[in-house]
Each structure stands twice: as structure tokens, then as C-alpha cells.
Amino acid sequence: MTLRGIASSIAIAGLVVACTSDSGTGPTTARSGGPVEHQQLQDPNINPNDTYVVLDAASTNTGTITYDTQTVNPTTGQSVTSVTMPSPLASEFHVEIGYDVNGILRADVTGTWPIGTDSTSVSVPDAYRVVLSNGQLTEYNAAGAVLAPSTLPSDSEPAGSSFLNQLGNQLLHGVLTNGVLVDSLQAVAAPPSPSGSLITFSRILTTDANHRSIVATGPGLVGRGWGNKVKGYHRDGSKWVLDSIAGDYNSASNGFSLHTHQVLRLKNVQWNVNPAMDSSRNAFLAANPGPHIGRDTTSQTSLGNVRGILERQQCAPGQCGDGGGGGTGGGTGGGGTPPPPGQNIVFQHGLFNAGGVWSRMDGWLAPEFSFGTTLLPSLSATARAQTQTDQLISDVAATGQTHFLIVGHSMGGLIARRAAQERPDLFSGVLTVGTPHVGAFLALQSKAVIANILTYLANELWYGCTSYNEDPGCAVAYFVASVGVSAAVEFAANALVPANIDLQPGSAFTTALNTATETFPRVGIESYSPKRWVLARLGGDSQCFPENPTCGGRAWAKYANDAYWGARLLQILGAMVGNETIYDVGTRIVDVMDYIDYQWDWWTAPGDQTDGVVQGRSQVYPRATANLSIPGGDSHDGEPNSDKTRTKIEQAFDQVFLVPRLN
């Protein structure tokens, strides 16, 4: 036996152990060793006289990514060349799948979601339940409300539907007795080779009389990145019932490698079989397999080949949001008093930005508050912080006026504080938004490494895609690679960005800043975005205003969520009807999306809240007059344009800085 053969055997043995040990002593093993769960069909639209299954499913995903160079673990400060998800990212579902009275496949999946990567998940409006009916997918949130399909430009199909089209006619007529319930394991182990299928099960391993596993291996699988795959079954009456599917996925490219291990466990299975109906369905599918629409799993394309869609995602001037402001005039006011002297104000941008980033906020606030001189300076946005501070002081001093209240976003908040510390005669107060007061973890990382790894992961998500619109996962992959990465890495280390030195945790600049005396009123606004899909959110917010329903960060976060749920249902449906290729596509998408979130969080805000760029604790203004936090906030790039930020700024203007209201 060759070394490769030995390794393969060991891997198979490990997978077999995973499958059989997870199933315990028998198919009736209950959750947490407790009493057997009694499963009853609850969905009234599933025909109880036809074939159906009711079960609980648990999906876990572990993995390791290895880099071609070192990256910094922000928790330990150590340089490492690989990152491993420390514990399985687990998701649990209750699944009911069968047929409606017309014999059309219907699935009803309810879950607790997400678990693992998102400490703020309670406020994430994720799909909680998905229902497949007549080939269409409907998502519900945890409160039971229907989630509207995404309406991103150039995507005219309902969320997730283009994923499901890959099932061909199995989408409507898939047969459960070909997947989750089978008569013969030999038939599964030697199936006819469907077009495009990469999976062939060839070996049956017997654990005992009632428990068996079937194993798929082969150079074709390894060449495509798929490692070994094992399905575990237990006998229940005349049927073999699927207990688990465990598989490995390995990929390597340009010095990076990804290894993941996925297990889907099924338990508490209750079922009914109508052989006559299943026979009819099988006959139909044999004659009408239906077109394969969707990812071409036999081809390899990369994101670099499909540039061009990005232009459609960018908002033309005036198309993103309302631009704020816009009084209606007229009215019957009291003819009141002249306002108090206007508050001189400076809106200071952050890294890689310019004064215009605050235009919308100025447009919102100027009609509400009595402003005097208003400045939106554009400094040398990548220069050292002290250089920018000097420029700011020079700009403000040139006005000949004093008592400026300065509002700084991100690094602009650090510059604002420094300027006010040096020239209290010019500045009367500081308000920071999303500012890294004690540095940003992200600044420790190499911009090139982060960009390369995220692009690599996005390419993994792009697996089998040939166009942006092929399915929601393809769209998210493209968007993350094209826009999300560039938006996200602005704080990362780059030798061409001198400011990065000052943004690193413990920098001399921030240390001096935080030890200096500040006698002016000072407010820090902290924005905490849901961690789930925050890269997509950052990308959207870098292109459009956050609330824009088609291209803002909120829309992109929802779109990523839709893609994830579509892929998850694809995975479950693939397992249920025995379509291995579809199962693998769904599994790979959810794995990679999980890993993208995990990896980004590992770099930026492990164990902390975040706006996607600056970790929560660093956004807190030390010894501030007031720190105001926004839950469910927009991402770092969206903060200056966010209506939620506006609400908190208004509060601070009113209550801390006593900025006069405009008549």
C-alpha cells in the first residue's frame, strides 16, 4: 500500500467512526441521551398518505485554512500560518419533507440560526424557517414573518430558486426512497452515473446487523477537492434509514489551502412510504430527468474571468438614498426669535476618505441645528496621524474663528481628538464615530495577505459558477471578491499607507492621545453591526447608502443570508433525494460562507462586538463625557451615512453639546 493509500484508509476509518459513533447504539438514540423524541408530521400541507419523513438534522463544520505567509492572531499576538475553527459551527434543524396532495415535493425546515460565529445573533433577522412548495422557496424569520425576497439589480429570480433549479425535475418530483430511505444499500453503492455526478459509492462497511456505512472515494473526487465521503445507515423495518453524511473537502491554490470536514446527522426519523407513488415518480424521473440549470461542477472558472458585473452594482449619483434634507418651506411658525449664534462645526473624514463622506450627514443636520461655519476638510487621508492633525489645525485656524465642534469618523476621530488637545482655543468639543481609540486589530494584518485569502475563499464560493446571476451564492462570491474585500481591508497594514502605523493597537499616537488631558465635552458613538455577513454589508455600504434596498449594506447582508439558506436547503434536499452532487454543492457553499465569516471575525474582533472593521472595545472613547452605542448598526463604511448614526449625533448635539436648534 502506498503512503497515499494508507492515508486514505485512515481517513476513511475516521469518517466511518464519525458516522457510526455519532449514531450511538441504534437509530432511536435521542438528543442528549434523553428520551426518544416523538416526531409527528406537523405541516398540514404534506400529504400523510404519501411518502414523507420527519426528522431532526444537525450540521457541523470544522476546518483549517493554511496561508502561504504569516498572519497575526489578534488574541495572542502570535504570528501563525494557519487558522482552525476551534469548535464545530453547528446548526440544527427540524425537517419535514414529503409531497402535497398533488404529489409535488414539499419541504419545511425550521432551525435555530445561526450558531457559532455571531454573538449578536439574537438581533440578526435571519431566516428561521424555509418552506419549499411547488418549487418555490419562502423564508420566514424567527417571529414567523415572511422575509421578502431580495431585489438586487439584475437578479430577477426569487431568492434561492436558482440554487434549487439544479435539482432538475427532482425539485418537484425527487424521491425520498432514493436518499433518506432506501431498500438496498447495494443499489446506492452502485448507482447509475448521472450526468455531471462526481460521486460514486463503491464500498459497504458493516458495523453490525443493523448499521452499515457506504464509502465513496476516488481520484476524481480528490482532484475536484472532495475527499472521502461516508454515509451511515441504520435498518428500520424494511428500510435502511440515513443517519449521517460525513465528508472532507480539500482545496489548495497559490499557497493557500483549505480543509474542511462536514457532518450532517439525522435523528429521530419518523417516516411513511407509499411505494406506488414513489414508483410512479421514479418512472417519471427516468423519462424526464429535467435540465440541469445552475453551477457547472465539471468546470473551473475563477472570479478574474467575469469582471464587468460590478458596474451594475454601483449606484449612479443621486440614486442611492434620498440625500437627506429637503425642507418643504412655508408654514405657520411662530415667527420666533433669532437663533442663538451658530455652532461652528467640522466634519472630519477617516482613512482613505475625503470630506465628502460627511455630505449626507451635514445635509441632514444643517436644517435642524444652527450651524455657523461648517468645514468638511479633505486631508492627506493616508498620511501619519500627526501630519493630518497639523493640516486640520491649519485649515480651521485659517477661518479666523473658534469654538469648533468636531465630528470625526474612524481615524478622523483620532485626528479630531489630537487637534482639540493641541488647540483647545479652536475646538470646543469632539464627537467620534466608529473610531479606533486604542487601535484596530485589522491594522496588524497584512493587507495583501487578507486580500489574497478572502479572494481565495470567495473563489471557493464561486465553485461551479459561470456568471454572476447563476445563483445567489455566485452573486455573493462575486460581490465579496470585487467589492467587499477592498472595502474591508482599508485598515490593514500596507507599507504605502503611513497612517497604518498609528492605527495599530498600542501605537505611540493612540497611547499619547489617551493619556492626554481633555477638558472639552467628548462623545463616542459605537456602532455594532451583526457579525453575520458583515463583509457583504461592508461592501454594500462602500457602494451605496446603507438603507438602499438594492445595493446598500443592509440589502447585501440579507442577500448573503438568502444565499446561505438557499444553499442549506439544497444540501438537505440533496441528502433527502439522494442527489450527491447537489448535496455537495450546497455543503460547500455553506461551509465556505461560514468560513469567510469566521476568518474575518478572527482577524478583526474575536470575542468582541464590531462594525466590521473596528472592534467594539476600541470604539469606546476613553473617559468620554458620553459613549452611545448602536446595536444592529451599519458597518464601518456605512456609519457616516447611517440614519442610526444620525439619531445618536442629534442626541449628542442636543444633550451634550447643547447645539442650538434651528428655527
Partner 1 sequence: MRESGGASKDRPMPRHGVTPVLGLFLLALLVSCDLSSGNTGPVQIAWRYPLSGSEAGWIGIPAVSGNLVIAEMGPWLRALDLSTGHLVWQTRLSSGLHIGARNVAIAGGRAFVAGADSVYAVDATSGQRLWAFLPDAQGALCQITADSTTVYVGTRSHRVYALSADSGQVRWSVDIGPAWTNPGVVNGIAEAGDTLYVTGLEYLNPSGGFRTAQVIAMTRVSGSELWRYNGPDSANGTNNAASLSGDLLLVADIYGHSFFAVNRFTGMQAWRVPTSGLGPIQAPVVSGTTLFVGGEDNFAYSNNVQTGSARWKVDVGGSIDYVALCGRVLLANDLELRVLDTARGADLQTLLTGVGEDYPTSAFAVRGAQAFVVGNAGAYGLSCPS
2 in contact with partner 1 (CB under 8 A): no
37 in contact with partner 1 (CB under 8 A): yes
5 in contact with partner 1 (CB under 8 A): no
Instruction: Name residues contacting partner 1, limited to 255-274 (CB under 8 A).
Output: 267-274
String marking each residue 538-577 x if it binds partner 1 according to CB under 8 A: ---------x------x---x-------------------
Closest approach of partner 1 to the CB of residue 54, in Å: 7
Who's near 126: CB < 8 A, 6+ residues apart? 113, 114, 141, 142, 532, 561, 565
Distances (CA, A) of 35 to 29, 31, 40, 111, 487: 8, 8, 15, 21, 50
282 in contact with partner 1 (CB under 8 A): no
Dihedral (Cα; 396, 399, 402, 404), 10-degree rounding: -50
Among 21, 42, 186, 288, binds partner 1 (CB under 8 A): 42
Closest approach of partner 1 to the CB of residue 597, in Å: 18
- Which H helix or E strand runs over 346? strand 343-348
Residue 57 C-beta-side C-alpha neighbours within 13 Å:
27
Instruction: Name residues contacting partner 1, limited to 361-400 (CB under 8 A).
Output: 367-368
Instruction: Name residues contacting partner 1, limited to 640-659 (CB under 8 A).
Output: 643-644, 646-648, 650-651, 654-658
125 in contact with partner 1 (CB under 8 A): yes
317 in contact with partner 1 (CB under 8 A): no
Closest approach of partner 1 to the CB of residue 274, in Å: 5
Instruction: Name residues contacting partner 1, limited to 604-633 (CB under 8 A).
Output: 625-632
**CA dihedral over 185, 190, 192, 198, signed as positive or negative:** positive
The three cell numbers of residue 151 are 431585489
Measured from the CB atom, is 36 or 80 closer to partner 1? 36
Place of cell 455577513: 533
Closest approach of partner 1 to the CB of residue 58, in Å: 11
Contact present, 485 and 459 (Cβ < 8 Å): no
21 in contact with partner 1 (CB under 8 A): no
Among 67, 99, 128, 226, binds partner 1 (CB under 8 A): 128
Instruction: Name residues contacting partner 1, limited to 65-94 (CB under 8 A).
Output: 94
Per CB under 8 A, which region of 12-20, 23-31, 223-231, 353-361 contacts partner 1? 23-31
Torsion angles phi and psi, residue 380, rounded to 5 = -75, 95
337 in contact with partner 1 (CB under 8 A): yes
Write the single-letter amino acid at 127: A
Measured from the CB atom, is 267 or 568 closer to partner 1? 267
Beta strands in 73-162 (DSSP E): 79-84, 91-99, 105-112, 127-133, 136-141, 146-147
Q: What is the DSSP track for 300-312?
A: ---GGG-TTTHHH
Write the single-letter amino acid at 112: T
- 250 alpha carbon, distance to own chain's centre: 22
State how far the Cα of 244 lies from the Cα of 231, in Å rounded to an integer: 6
Closest approach of partner 1 to the CB of residue 33, in Å: 14
Beta strands in 368-521 (DSSP E): 371-375, 404-409, 427-433
101 in contact with partner 1 (CB under 8 A): no
Strands 343-348, 136-141: parallel, antiparallel or unpaired by DSSP?
unpaired
Among 520, 606, 617, 622, binds partner 1 (CB under 8 A): 520
The three cell numbers of residue 520 are 472639552
Give the binding-site size for partner 1 (rule: CB under 8 A).
100
Place of cell 461652528: 344
424 in contact with partner 1 (CB under 8 A): yes
Among 33, 192, 333, 400, binds partner 1 (CB under 8 A): 333
Among 6, 7, 10, 145, binds partner 1 (CB under 8 A): 145
418 in contact with partner 1 (CB under 8 A): no
State how far the Cα of 371 lies from the Cα of 466, in Å rounded to an integer: 53
Closest approach of partner 1 to the CB of residue 559, in Å: 13
Per CB under 8 A, which region of 28-36, 157-165, 378-386, 581-589 contacts partner 1? 28-36
Distances (CA, A) of 564 to 110, 113, 392: 14, 11, 45
318 in contact with partner 1 (CB under 8 A): no
Sheet (strand 146-147) strand order: 79-84, 52-72, 91-99, 105-112, 127-133, 136-141, 146-147
Per CB under 8 A, which region of 24-32, 66-74, 187-195, 309-317 contacts partner 1? 24-32
Who's near 252: CB < 8 A, 6+ residues apart? 258
Per CB under 8 A, which region of 25-33, 222-230, 469-477, 568-576 contacts partner 1? 25-33
422 in contact with partner 1 (CB under 8 A): no
518 in contact with partner 1 (CB under 8 A): yes
Instruction: Name residues contacting partner 1, limited to 219-258 (CB under 8 A).
Output: 236-239, 241
